[in-house]
Structure 1
Amino acid sequence: MSSQPSAVPPARTDSPESERTLEQAQQLTDVITRLRRALRSSIRTDYPWESLPMAQVELLQTLAAAPLRVGELATRQRLAPNTVSGLVGKLLDAGFVDRQPDPGDRRTARIALTEAGRRQLNDWQQAHERRLADALRGLGEADCQAVMNALPGLELLARALSTTPPEDRSH
């Protein structure tokens, strides 16, 4: 019989507060997953031209600020460099990004949005904003306000998740 530890250790539930927090995290995970899936599905139904995978869209969003090297993109997206290289290759083929010389290191290149990439990203953003605006208009005023009131907390949560390294659970 193998005594290897499992890849994901069981969650600790040392107290009722821990259990409640875990339940809240599970509910939030479920809602976020369903929200993303519903949004992607409705966008593809309403806007059939929208076919970019989310990972490619996220790279375009990151590159909208400034050109970056593949390694920098990988770090910011928390992906393996070879994964980012593959995504960049698809975006290069589509004409949404191009390679530019890196002024700091002539041996490397920076990836930059092309004008077509900026248009695609803008179209994607506008389609999502229209779809969400339509859905918000379909909610009652109190429900719409509840969603809007949750935004500051969700923003703080997003920042906490993006700046906090994953917890080391091996100890």
Structure 2
Amino acid sequence: MPSQPNPGTPHVPAPAEAGSTTVERAQRLTDVITRLRRALRSSIRTDYPWESLPMAQVELLQTLAAAPLRVGELAARQRLAPNTVSGLVGKLLDAGFVDRQPDPGDRRTARIALTPAGHQQLRDWQGAHERRLADALESLTPAHREAVMNALPGLEQLARALAATTPPPADES
């Protein structure tokens, strides 16, 4: 098992790592992303312990912050099955974070929109999350902090590339 780098020193690739294959690099990236997501999910509870929304619901609120959407549009943007999104929307409706609005283009459907309580919930969640990330960034050495920030353009491009190549799931009937 490879040794873990010391968190206080910048990571310098070993010669074997510098020559690693794309698959090996993808495995390392997958591991880091998984640990980062897990740490972010659990650390938010430190500053925001009353928060009980699952990440899937938070992500729906984030998507709806831009504009109301029909369930099918929301499902496509989230790359989830429509019935999965319907279930999540139902929970957000029950919590009072979203409501249904008539769709001016199609009277047979409704658009899902954030309520004032939903906007506040999202602001509170994002504020706590941003504070937690800012504190974690400040705890890094300047070299590590700069490395993280310099990696953002590449990570954003990677996210776009993955989104462009991932088909939405089939409806789970």
What TM bracket, shorter-length normalisation? 0.7 to 0.9
Q: Tell me, what secondary structure is at the counterpart of 1:107?
A: coil
The aligned amino acid for 2:91 is: K
List aligned pairs for 1:1-171, cutoff 5 A.
20-165=21-166
Name the TM-score, length of structure 2 as normaliser.
Answer: 0.83
Number of the residue aligned with 2:12: none
1:79-117 deviation per Cα after TM superposition (whole angstroms, max 9, x unaligned):
111100000000000000000000001111000000110
Number of the residue aligned with 1:11: none
The aligned amino acid for 1:25 is: A
Q: In structure 1, how many angstroms separate the alpha carbons of the residues matched to 2:138 and 2:76?
A: 38
- Aligned-pair identity in percent equals 85
The alpha carbon displacement at 1:39 in A equals 1.1
Higher relative contact order (CA 8 A, sep 6+): 2
Higher mean C-alpha deviation, range 37-46 or range 62-71: 37-46
The aligned amino acid for 1:119 is: Q
Name the TM-score, length of structure 1 as normaliser.
Answer: 0.84
The alpha carbon displacement at 1:45 in A equals 2.5
* Unpaired stretches in structure 2, ≥5 consecutive residues: 1-19, 168-173
Moved over 6 A (4+): none
* Unpaired stretches in structure 1, ≥5 consecutive residues: 1-18, 167-171
**Does structure 1 retain, via aligned residues, the 8 Å contact 2:102–2:110?**
yes
Q: In structure 2, how many angstroms separate the alpha carbons of the residues matched to 1:111 and 1:23?
A: 42
Cα-Cα RMSD: 1.1
**Does structure 1 retain, via aligned residues, the 8 Å contact 2:48–2:125?**
no
